[in-house]
Amino acid sequence: MNFFLFFKSEVIVIILHSLFKTEKKYDTMFIIEGEKMDNIEKNKNKKMGFNLKEISVIIIITALLTSLTAGVIVYNQNKLTRNLTYQDLNEDNALKEFLAVYASLVDEYYEDVDKTALLESAISAMFKHLGEDYSTYMNKTETDALAEKLLGEYKGIGIEINKQNTIANFIEGSSAKEAGLLIGDTILSINDAPITSADEIKNKIQEINIGEKIKIIVNREGNLLEFYVENKHLYIPAVNTEIFENSIGYLKISTFSNTLKEQVNTALKNMESKEISSLIIDLRNNTGGYLVQASEVANLFLEKGKIIYSLEDKENKKDYKDETDEKREYKIVLLMNEATASASEVLIAALKESYGALTVGTTTYGKGKVQQTHSLEDGSMVKYTSAKWLTPNGTCIDGVGITPEYIVEESLEETKEDIQLKKAIELAK
């Protein structure tokens, strides 16, 4: 809206200038010496400002442009999607019938009707009619769980707790570890409030503001110890790294959360500081996440101008390319299996076709569709397919998957060796 209003004011200036501009004479350029002062005096006596006719024109033009602006604003406010407005729906006879039935049930059914549940059922039925697994309605609980998973960060002190309220592990960047807590410490109270469950620990910490110190009392081998731990924003770990012999870096990506690029970038720089010569990226059992994160991780490796993926909807096809100057040149080997899906497949296709990475494992899941989400006022959400994505070579992998160059089945032995990883290491040497 701000851009349009700014644009409108510029239009007024341009129109008025074109209507009322006059040929301005510069005395020093166009008069002879003897007439110079007389002309200047005449110019002084000229009437300044606009006459009544000009003012009327200004008012009319301003009114027209204001009406145009208001019309555009109202139109945009009434737009529901790219092509539909409330007016379009108001003229939809099928929707009128639906609303008539809804009104009858709410007003005339012999028992009270739960309107929220009724509409949830209606929305669910619409998505069921589409007959596609990826387009669905999610209630508030399901929406919150997905949001927490994909957010990639949380408020906390960086600990994992078991059922006995004992610290089982620390998360990278843990303020609890920095404060001196140890694995095996049992948490007894938070800010002097006794603790009875792991959920209670989580809830108490969530109530405390970022940056505040939390008083935690633990039992350590029979001794009661007191700690003050800062509540922080922490990344939910999405990567794990290791360096094998022959300077082979190993990067395991578990999900494409909102903070993945930062985590991968940090991991790469840490491994590269130790002079890795090649890299294995393990995407096995990674079911995906945000498409933009797949694109941003690909940006860390690809040469500028290389295609990452394309989107094809019912109207057009658009290529998405690497627009950054950052790139890598060492050998990359990708690990995948049948549970590798969605954003993972986008990254695999980009690195395979636009970088030249080698692929090892089994054929991926084959999710070649992209979903958009729309949040509802009650906290629920609808998720629906809006496009197909294509690999850099223009292939749609939906229902087909990506078949690796080196097919290696997972070992079924109980004391199994990771033969897929073994093959990847062999190729990375």
The pLDDT tens digits of the residues spanning 375-396 come to 888 888 888 899 999 999 999 9
pLDDT of residue 140: 84
β-bridge partners, 383: 136, 373
pLDDT of residue 278: 98
pLDDT bracket for residue 41 (50, 70, 90): very low
d(CA 159, CA 181): 10
More confident residue, 232 or 92: 232
Tokens of 366: 């084959």
pLDDT at residue 26 tops 70:
no
pLDDT at residue 305 tops 60:
yes
d(CA 278, CA 425): 9
pLDDT of residue 48: 52
β-bridge partners, 373: 383
Domains of the chain, start order:
2-77 (no CATH), 153-235 (2.30.42.10), 239-428 (3.90.226.10)
Q: Percent of the chain having pLDDT more than 70?
A: 82
pLDDT bracket for residue 415 (50, 70, 90): low
Residues in the chain: 429
Our CA angle for 203, 209, 215, nearest 5°, is: 70
Residue with tokens 């301005």: 24
d(CA 359, CA 391): 15
